[in-house]
């Protein structure tokens, strides 16, 4: 009798071995993700499910991921309950606790310095050789998600790119630039030295004697915005006051007509790096040659500042946002 039972089991063995394993969802105790949220499909192994069930199971959301390089602990029981809500018959293998780590990359102070300097040089109105960077204030090494490859650099409105220049940095995804990223602050001191017009001898009020002027290299950090950097700017103008020798000349020292009146539509040269770009804006205040005034884009209502360069004309003066 025993021999007959043993023979029967032996004959059935191939059939039992060939039977398909039951569908199962296996969740490991440790997993890694590289996005902002955790889905079952990102951390679990799914075997033998029908395609439509597999898609539904993979799409189950388990909540937000941890900060870059950090770990979030999930309840295995809670994961099983969410999976059974999709299909009550699912076989689920999940430990009591699942630890999910968010992958990241480190941003070093050297990288911040390099990328911020490039952003400043791209937007500043000065020639590269006139500027020296000093006294950097940089964040210590910090982590960002792997997908946060794009850096947004925001400068303060009205930044003139001389002296202390502060910036807000934000590392975001190229695919989702509007989703908040990792933010830090940084700053640098810009020493800007350019030739400026200086009185080479005492000057008296009245018609300007061009022969009594010279160009001298000066640090713009300690000079007003309207300092004269081109002698042609003041050729033929009248001085409004006496000036001592060595005084840097300002456009405010001269009797100049307003080239732009409040409410005028003026043409602004907003080109950069060889790109020609002109737009028409509305002047919010009157302005003389070389004076910086506020204007408004009539279409977008965006306000910014420009430098008056001629009759009803100007150039972009102080951009405040740079993206890379």
Which candidate, 35, 94, 108, 22, places its Cα nearest to that of 65? 35
Strand order in the sheet with 71-75: 30-33, 97-102, 71-75
| Number of helical (H) and strand (E) elements in the chain, helices listed first | 5, 24
Furthest C-alpha separation in the chain: 132
Which residue is it, tokens 């009803």? 312
Instruction: Tell me the CATH number of domain 194-251, given options 3.90.1210.10, 3.40.50.2300, 3.40.1110.10, 1.10.10.10.
Output: 3.90.1210.10
Residue 224: per-residue pLDDT: 83
Which candidate, 29, 38, 50, places its Cα nearest to that of 93? 29
Residue 16: per-residue pLDDT: 44
Which residue is it, tokens 């190229």? 174
**Calpha distance 257→17 (Å, rounded):** 99
Residue 116: per-residue pLDDT: 95
Structure tokens at 275: 């790109």
Residue 322: per-residue pLDDT: 36
Residue 290: per-residue pLDDT: 74
**What are the residue ranges spanned by the domains of the chain?**
20-102, 107-190, 194-251, 265-319
The model scores a pTM over 0.75: no
Which candidate, 75, 107, 106, places its Cα nearest to that of 92? 75
Helices 51-58, 76-86: axis angle to 10 degrees equals 140
CATH 2.30.30.760 fits 265-319, yes or no: yes
Block mean pLDDT (10 aa), the chain, length 324? 44 46 84 86 84 89 87 92 88 92 91 95 90 95 87 87 93 80 94 90 88 88 84 84 91 85 87 66 87 88 86 70 39
- CA distances, 205 to each of 50, 138, 241, 244 (Å): 93, 49, 5, 11
pLDDT tens track for 89-125:
888 999 999 999 888 889 999 999 999 999 999 988 8
Residue 305: per-residue pLDDT: 87
CATH 2.60.480 fits 20-102, yes or no: yes
């Amino acid at each position: 009798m025993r021999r007959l039972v043993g023979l029967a089991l032996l004959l059935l063995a191939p059939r039992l071995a060939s039977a398909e394993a039951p569908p199962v969802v296996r969740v490991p105790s440790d997993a890694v993700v590289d996005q902002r949220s955790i889905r079952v499909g990102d951390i679990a192994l799914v075997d033998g499910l029908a395609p439509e069930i597999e898609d539904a199971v993979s799409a189950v959301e388990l909540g937000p991921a941890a900060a870059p390089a950090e770990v979030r602990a999930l309840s295995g029981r809670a994961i099983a309950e969410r999976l059974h809500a999709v299909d009550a018959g699912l076989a689920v293998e999940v430990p009591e606790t699942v630890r999910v780590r968010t992958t990241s990359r480190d941003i070093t102070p050297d990288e911040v310095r390099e990328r911020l300097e490039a952003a400043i040089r791209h937007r500043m109105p000065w020639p590269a050789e006139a500027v020296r960077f000093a006294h950097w204030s940089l964040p210590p090494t910090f982590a960002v998600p792997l997908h946060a490859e794009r850096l947004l650099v925001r400068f303060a409105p009205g930044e003139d790119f001389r002296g202390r220049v502060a910036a807000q940095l934000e590392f975001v995804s190229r695919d989702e630039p509007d989703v908040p990223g990792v933010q830090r602050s940084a700053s640098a001191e810009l020493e800007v030295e350019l030739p400026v017009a200086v009185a080479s001898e005492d000057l008296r009020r009245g018609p300007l004697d061009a022969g009594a002027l010279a160009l001298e290299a000066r640090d713009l950090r300690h000079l007003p915005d309207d300092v004269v950097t081109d002698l042609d700017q003041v050729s033929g103008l009248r001085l409004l006051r006496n000036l001592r020798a060595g005084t840097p000349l300002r456009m405010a020292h001269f009797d100049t007509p307003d080239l732009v009146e409040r409410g005028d539509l003026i043409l602004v040269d907003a080109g950069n790096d060889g790109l020609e770009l002109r737009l028409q804006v509305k002047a919010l205040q009157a302005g003389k040659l070389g004076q910086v005034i506020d204007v408004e884009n009539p279409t977008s209502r965006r306000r910014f500042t420009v430098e008056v360069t001629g009759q009803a004309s100007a150039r972009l003066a102080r951009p405040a946002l740079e993206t890379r």
